[in-house]
């Protein structure tokens, strides 16, 4: 079974998807981390971020795995490196290139074969797994999302101003919505959850209830 969790930056997708996968005992895929990993490796290997076909070759050659709550590329834990502002910026042209998105779609579908999976990103329900049994779109007001991201940055020891977080978030939202391929939008049959005023555990409980209802329906279908 596949559950997709899409939504804008800062909607709480990662922590929710991680907690949900852990509660269900399923695998977890962070597709933003995959785009970031390609950007990191491209910079390391001196690949031009505008050379889409070279980025496709690179993406196809990488072994990306989610292990112990982190992400490994070719066996190396890059969880921290991919979160820097430099990589956030470098990821944009990578994620904007249609051939790269196409390759990532193939890779993500390959990784999902034969497993129960919670996958999160921007296009998981709308493009990559349109047949997923449960598609969720998590969202929250811009102020709430920026406040959460700000608290996260502070907890990582990075002193940033809330106004800076809000403006860089607005920039990313615009980019995610304007992208010609893989545009941020809920799948037509997605369940939309507005998370203002809800904590992570409350969101996870709602999702678990949806999964239980689906599983019950599956079992009672002859």
**Of 30-38, 43-51, 148-156, 205-213, which segment contacts ligand DC by CB under 6 A?**
30-38
In angstroms, rounded to a whole number, what is the distance separating the alpha carbons of residues 167 and 81?
23
d(CA 138, CA 127): 16
**Smallest separation, CB 101 to ligand DC (Å):** 7
Question: Which residues are within 8 A (CB) of 127 and not within 5 positions of it... i.e. 6 or more apart?
Answer: 101, 105, 182
Tell me how far, at minimum, the Cβ of 189 lies from ligand DC, in Å. Answer: 18
Considering only residues 91, 126, 169, 195, which one is a binding residue for ligand DC as defined by CB under 6 A?
91
Q: Residue 5, SS3?
A: strand
From the CB of 222, what's the least distance to ligand DC, in Å?
36
**3-class secondary-structure state, position 107:** helix
Q: Which of 5, 7, 11, 31 binds ligand DC (CB under 6 A)?
A: 31
150 contacts ligand DC (rule: CB under 6 A): no
Range 34-73, binding ligand DC (CB under 6 A): 35-36
C-beta of residue 139 within 8 angstroms of C-beta of residue 194? yes
Q: CB of residue 122 vs ligand DC: minimum separation in angstroms?
A: 4
User: How many amino acids of this chain bind ligand DC (CB under 6 A)?
Assistant: 15
Those residues whose C-beta lies under 8 Å from the C-beta of residue 67, and which sit 6 or more positions away, are: 77
Least spacing, CB of residue 58 vs ligand DC, in Å: 16
What's the CA gap between 218 and 222, in Å, rounded? Answer: 8
Q: How far is the CB of 60 from ligand DC (least distance, A)?
A: 17
What is the pattern of x (binds ligand DC, CB under 6 A) and - over residues 104-143? -----------------xxx--------------------
Across the chain, the runs of DSSP E, i.e. the strands, are 2-6, 27-30, 64-67, 70-73, 76-77, 117-121, 134-139, 191-194
Binding interface with ligand DC (CB under 6 A): 9, 31-33, 35-36, 91-92, 95, 121-123, 172, 176, 182
């Amino acid at each position: 079974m596949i559950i997709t969790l899409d939504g804008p930056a800062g909607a709480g997708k990662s922590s929710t998807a991680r907690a949900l996968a852990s509660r269900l005992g399923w695998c977890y895929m962070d597709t933003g981390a995959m785009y970031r990993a390609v950007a990191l490796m491209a910079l390391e290997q001196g690949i031009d971020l505008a050379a889409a076909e070279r980025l496709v070759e690179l993406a196809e050659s990488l072994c990306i795995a989610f292990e112990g709550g982190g992400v490994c590329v070719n066996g190396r834990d890059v969880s921290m490196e991919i979160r820097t502002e430099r990589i956030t910026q470098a990821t944009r042209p990578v994620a904007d290139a249609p051939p790269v998105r196409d390759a990532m779609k193939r890779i993500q579908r390959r990784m999902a074969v034969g497993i129960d999976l919670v996958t999160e990103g921007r296009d998981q329900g709308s493009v990559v797994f349109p047949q997923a049994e449960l598609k969720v779109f998590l969202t929250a007001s811009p102020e709430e999302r920026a406040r959460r991201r700000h608290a996260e940055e502070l907890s990582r020891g990075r002193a940033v101003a809330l106004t800076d977080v809000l403006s860089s978030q607005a920039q990313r939202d615009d980019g995610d919505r304007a992208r010609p391929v893989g545009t941020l939008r809920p799948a037509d049959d997605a369940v939309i959850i507005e998370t203002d005023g809800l904590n992570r555990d409350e969101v996870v409980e709602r999702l678990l209830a949806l999964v239980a209802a689906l599983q019950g329906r599956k079992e009672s279908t002859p």
